[in-house]
Structure 1
Amino acid sequence: MTDQDARRPPASIDETITLLREQDYLAGRGLATVIFLALRMQRPLFLEGEAGVGKTEIAKALAKGLNRPLIRLQCYEGLDVASAVYEWNYPAQMLDIRLSEASGLEDRERLEANLYSERHLIRRPVLQALARQGEAAPVFLIDELDRTDEAFEAFLLEVLSDFQVTIPELGTIRAAEPPIVIITTNRTREIHDALKRRCLYHWVDYPDAAQELAILKRKVPQAGEALSRQVVAYVQKLRTVDLFKNPGIAETIDWATALTELDRLALDPETISDTLGTLLKYQDDIARIRGGEGGALLAEVKADLLAAG
């Protein structure tokens, strides 16, 4: 991909909303504003919210809308520099040593320079995001940062402050153009203030009924109007119940898709019971809704929709 292939960042908040909508991501004005500012100010964007509200999809929509590469660092417990930034190709280095010994090469400095050269460097996501030469800056997604530990957070400070990393054998590698950095967290633990200060912040919440209905119409256009309204109203009610894990937008889409595959035109207690596995992902939650609360919620939904006309 060349710089000419990349689309320029949006020039206004309205353009940002349009760019995301073109990728089927419906963003409210608050979210579009902070995305626009992050692009203009070249600051990382820190997105916090419950799992399943669409944080990761924002990075995907931006990458697709701006025609930029998406580089994703999926965080997990125990993530270290070798997995996130770089490591040396040890087998290739050992092969070079053996070949040098076989050929009688005794120049130690030359051998060492060859061993720690670019051709033996394995670039992991952080280095890939910073070291793109002559190409459009990528969208760099640091996904679920809260799964890592504080030591990795501390390492990221240099990356997010100066868009550079230091490799002892090669020196400092600095991004020619800062990548578009999107950081997500499900808030399973608090992220240190030092990292947050380097970012613009936005809490991504569950959508309201009108926005979720609009999303569903885009993502599952084959679902009928009545079914879509019932699905959204039911999910909205379900999120007010004290569940272990509330259904996210992805689960709403999956449920509506499953219902259309079953040729359902409206919700009924039996269908809800049979398809709860597409909406809820914990047995205790499924048992609770299937055990009686599901029917009561459906009655409330139908009454509300009838009253609304």
Structure 2
Amino acid sequence: MQAMTRAQRNLPSLPHNLVEAAVRSALDEDLGLAGDITTNATVAPDTVAEAVIAARRPGVIAGLALAEAAFRAVGPETHFSIEIGDGETVEPGTVIARVSGNARTLLTAERVALNFLGRLSGIATLTRQYVDQIAGMHAKIVDTRKTTPGLRAFEKYAVRCGSGYNHRVGLFDAVLIKDNHIVASGGVAAAVRAAKAATGHMTKIEVEVDTLAQLEIVMREKVDCVLLDNMTPGDLAKAVNIVGGRCLTEASGGVNLETVKEIAQTGVDLISVGALTHSASVLDLGLDFIASPKQAVLQA
């Protein structure tokens, strides 16, 4: 995996209100009405502990703000120190963060913190693998709306941490006319014209096409981007030639780590990959207590 500087990553900030709401919901789910009955039964209330969060597999980190918020939501006085920032690569054994404070707090917040951090780091890791496959080429890797309900903002942030780019955030921020819209509206030209009549000049319009014949029609309507769906590399190259730089071209469908380089070689501007968010494996991370002379090591 290719390392990047903080300036090159140019990561956005996660909104505090979204972070706090997601963490609170996850903690409520985990704690229920009775709280952490195991920790409360076995650990004295005034016990103080230190722990490290470390990688158990190689990958790219994302989601530290959520992990920190989980610990602070349970114990506001918890100290959370970041060793490896979002967007940075890690190897097995790399310490990502150090956390200290009340032992009950650390144990109670541990799983929620690691769930967020592992999930988002998995997305960042997979994204970086795709990006590395087409390193030095023109195309950009972008995500889709195939995200976990309620976690889209975080999962799209994780894509950015992996050096990918974001497609539209939701149904509200861009027009994407797909095959079913075309059928329901009476044809691709009719759909484009209706979209232009209903939206302002600041709204981008993208149209999905399945064939080169459809593409020829769309190019007469002047759109901002065409989504070339499930086309062969040969047809993608022809499509790029037909467009001739008049709008952006996006390849979609049939994209995986084995095919993405050949797709990029066709000259498309964007390659959208639903797998970045719907099929990424969780990055294996762990929280381990640091033993004092009178403590045994507790391992997550």
Sort the TM-score into its range (normalised by shorter chain). under 0.3
By percentage of residues, which structure has more strand? 2
Query: Scaled by the length of structure 2, what TM-score is found?
Result: 0.27
By percentage of residues, which structure has more helix? 1
Query: Scaled by the length of structure 1, what TM-score is found?
Result: 0.26
Larger gyration radius, structure 1 or structure 2? 1
